[in-house]
Structure 1
Amino acid sequence: MLRRFWTMTAHHHGNLWNASAIANALGVSSPATSRYLDILCDTFIVRQLAPFSANLKKRLVKSAKIYIRDSGLLHALLGIHNHEQLQGHPIVGASWEGMVIEQILAILPNGIEPYFYRTSAGAEVDLLLVPKNGTPIPVEIKHSLSPKVSNGLRSVLDDLKCDRGFIVYPGNEPYQMTSRITALPVTMLKELVS
């Protein structure tokens, strides 16, 4: 049972957690799946990224997103044994997203809280860094050498009145995409919070 739960969790990596759907698939109660997930979170194996909620007129998603914090463990649970298999697997983008989120959160200074942002209409950013006394910083994470600015990122910049936003990508050089959006290589993550 636990192995099936692990595998299902791996398949939901980077997605909204739906305890009742997992419970139905496993034939257990929804509270049981929530307890299993709590154990994985308490042991630092899984991260739950909470949705951002502010006093906005838009309806926001209320479920957390889940990430297996160790990408090697994620790949093993999904039967991915090498780089070639990963590149051809549908999880490649979510795997990259989870790895980048872990790297960002490892260097995040105190006083900045991480969230994700998604409206019920579908506007979304992968990571929203929210300082206690400051403007949120939206971050999109793209597994592409030529990332595009999403409508979701533009929407969040306007909805939350953000000064700037970032797209983290696997390239080597930072570059300005718009007046408020910068593409950053994963090697320059400290720029997000400086």
Structure 2
Amino acid sequence: MEMPFLPRAAGFLLERLMRVFPVVAVMGARQVGKSTLVRHLPSLSQHLYLTLDDLDLRLQAEADPPALLSRGEKLILDEVQRVPELLLAIKRSVDEARIPGRFVLTGSAHLLLHAHLAETLAGRAAYLVLWPLTRREQQGLGRAGPWGELLASPVKAWPSLLRDMQGQREDWRDAVARGGFPVPALFLKDWEERQMWLRGYLQTYLERDVPTLRAVENLPELRKLMEALALRSGSLLNQSALARDLGISQPTVHRYLNLLEVSFLLVRLPGYARSRTKRLIKSPKAYLPDPALALYLTGGKPSGAHLETLVLLDLLAFRDAQVNPPGLYYWRTASGQEVDFILEAEGKLLPVEVKATPRPTPKDAQGLLAFLAEYPEAPGGLLLHGGEEAFPLVDRVVAAPWWMVV
């Protein structure tokens, strides 16, 4: 199956980083398209591609790293986490000759979370995260939603701006079930086929990737934890409650959560805490970043939590494609007022609430209004819904169909 090359929102940033840093590491969960991106990006056409999934190359990398690095003037080293020792040889090579874009690395584990690896490449490497495909990337547009345009425009202009973007209409349940992993999103025609692929994906992750990271003694426990997180998608992360419900020790749950985060299969969304008068909840919210994977693990029907995950995926792709990444948070007070997402960029705030209903009412905007009252410098709030029209819902709040934005 030949994977088509679709432009990615992160491609422009990758090219910019290569002009500055001798090493650029492209990280992300397995099967999100890292290899396809680095093999087909025009600016990388002169790089020699080597994958450490190849046993012979891996053995050479372990036995004689400098010899492997001498194979080409510029190299793409795929799945570099399989031979962490190679990074020391890359450091020495960079220190001998600092050539921008000399090495492009990919990995399915977060190199920055390995302290000694991060120290090895400190000042020499830039790190870029690739998430599953956004809807606009699947359509060949190479971008996430118009979050930057919304941040730069007055609230009154949002409805016309979004109508002009001509987003592609779709039932959100179909988008959730398709997800963002390239193979099921682009090649598989129905949910039954996607379930088979996701089953194999999880099996490969648990049986191949997890043992490599040497962090799990009991794979069924990790699978149970992933199912529990999928059922609690978008909820506050309570490690003690997870440990109690699953019959797993709290230190083990803590370690497993870190492993999922390192593997880009868990997103911990922090609370927005720059409050003046409200007592805020600061525990993170937990998400599995791909809505189809979360849906598969719950074994149920698409829900509003899955639509929320779909929006989160788009926001993550937007955030991590920027030269100066904006902050991404949620907001919740001790009294229960809540906004799903807060985007903060260069002092500008954009609160976003997600509702699956096709007919939003002013009651659905209560969390946004509470946030806007607390932060009057925010120009307005955006309520994404499952309907067809973009319109002012209440003062300073615009309701818009999710498909106009995501």
Q: If the length of structure 2 is used for normalisation, what is the TM-score?
A: 0.42
Gap regions ≥5 residues in structure 2: 1-220
From 11, 16, 20, give the equivalent of 2:240: 20
The separation in 2 between residues aligned to 1:111 and 1:75, in whole angstroms, is 28
SS in 2 for 1:150: helix
Would you say how many aligned residue pairs link Structure 1 and Structure 2?
Answer: 180
What corresponds to 2:394 in structure 1?
Answer: 178
Are residues 1:130 and 2:335 paired?
no
Kindly indicate whether the alpha-carbon contact (under 8 Å) linking 1:111 and 1:132 is maintained by their aligned counterparts in 2: no
Q: How much does 1:54 deviate?
A: 1.1
Kindly indicate whether the alpha-carbon contact (under 8 Å) linking 1:10 and 1:68 is maintained by their aligned counterparts in 2: yes
Computed over aligned residues only, the root mean square deviation of the Cα atoms, in angstroms, reads 1.7
SS in 2 for 1:116: strand
Kindly indicate whether the alpha-carbon contact (under 8 Å) linking 2:355 and 2:384 is maintained by their aligned counterparts in 1: yes
Are residues 1:105 and 2:306 paired?
no
Amino acid across the alignment from 2:244: N
More helix by share: 2
Are residues 1:116 and 2:330 paired?
yes
Kindly indicate whether the alpha-carbon contact (under 8 Å) linking 2:365 and 2:383 is maintained by their aligned counterparts in 1: no
Are residues 1:77 and 2:301 paired?
no
Amino acid across the alignment from 2:264: F
The separation in 2 between residues aligned to 1:55 and 1:168, in whole angstroms, is 24
Larger radius of gyration: 2
What corresponds to 1:152 in structure 2?
Answer: 367
Segment of structure 1 superposing worse, 115-124 or 149-158: 149-158
The separation in 2 between residues aligned to 1:147 and 1:106, in whole angstroms, is 26
Structure 1 consecutive aligned stretches of length 4 or more whose deviation exceeds 6 Å = none
Amino acid across the alignment from 1:44: F
Identity %: 33
The separation in 2 between residues aligned to 1:105 and 1:74, in whole angstroms, is 16
The separation in 1 between residues aligned to 2:389 and 2:250, in whole angstroms, is 45
Are residues 1:8 and 2:228 paired?
yes
Q: How much does 1:101 deviate?
A: 1.4
What corresponds to 1:163 in structure 2?
Answer: 379
Are residues 1:30 and 2:250 paired?
yes
Amino acid across the alignment from 2:373: D
Kindly indicate whether the alpha-carbon contact (under 8 Å) linking 2:353 and 2:384 is maintained by their aligned counterparts in 1: yes
Q: How much does 1:188 deviate?
A: 2.7
Kindly indicate whether the alpha-carbon contact (under 8 Å) linking 1:104 and 1:189 is maintained by their aligned counterparts in 2: no
SS in 2 for 1:130: strand
Are residues 1:42 and 2:262 paired?
yes
SS in 2 for 1:143: coil
Amino acid across the alignment from 1:43: S
Kindly indicate whether the alpha-carbon contact (under 8 Å) linking 2:365 and 2:397 is maintained by their aligned counterparts in 1: no
The separation in 2 between residues aligned to 1:77 and 1:111, in whole angstroms, is 30
Q: How much does 1:55 deviate?
A: 4.2
Gap regions ≥5 residues in structure 1: 81-85
Amino acid across the alignment from 1:125: V
The separation in 2 between residues aligned to 1:178 and 1:150, in whole angstroms, is 8
The separation in 2 between residues aligned to 1:168 and 1:105, in whole angstroms, is 17
Amino acid across the alignment from 1:129: L
Kindly indicate whether the alpha-carbon contact (under 8 Å) linking 1:116 and 1:125 is maintained by their aligned counterparts in 2: yes
Relative to structure 1, the CA distance from residue 55 to residue 143 in structure 2 (aligned partners, 3 Å threshold; closer, same or farther) is closer
The separation in 2 between residues aligned to 1:165 and 1:125, in whole angstroms, is 10
Are residues 1:189 and 2:405 paired?
yes
What corresponds to 2:283 in structure 1?
Answer: 63
The separation in 2 between residues aligned to 1:127 and 1:98, in whole angstroms, is 11
The separation in 2 between residues aligned to 1:55 and 1:13, in whole angstroms, is 25
Q: How much does 1:77 deviate?
A: 1.0
Q: How much does 1:182 deviate?
A: 0.7
The separation in 1 between residues aligned to 2:345 and 2:318, in whole angstroms, is 14
The separation in 1 between residues aligned to 2:405 and 2:359, in whole angstroms, is 18
SS in 2 for 1:176: strand
Q: How much does 1:27 deviate?
A: 2.6
Kindly indicate whether the alpha-carbon contact (under 8 Å) linking 2:289 and 2:313 is maintained by their aligned counterparts in 1: yes
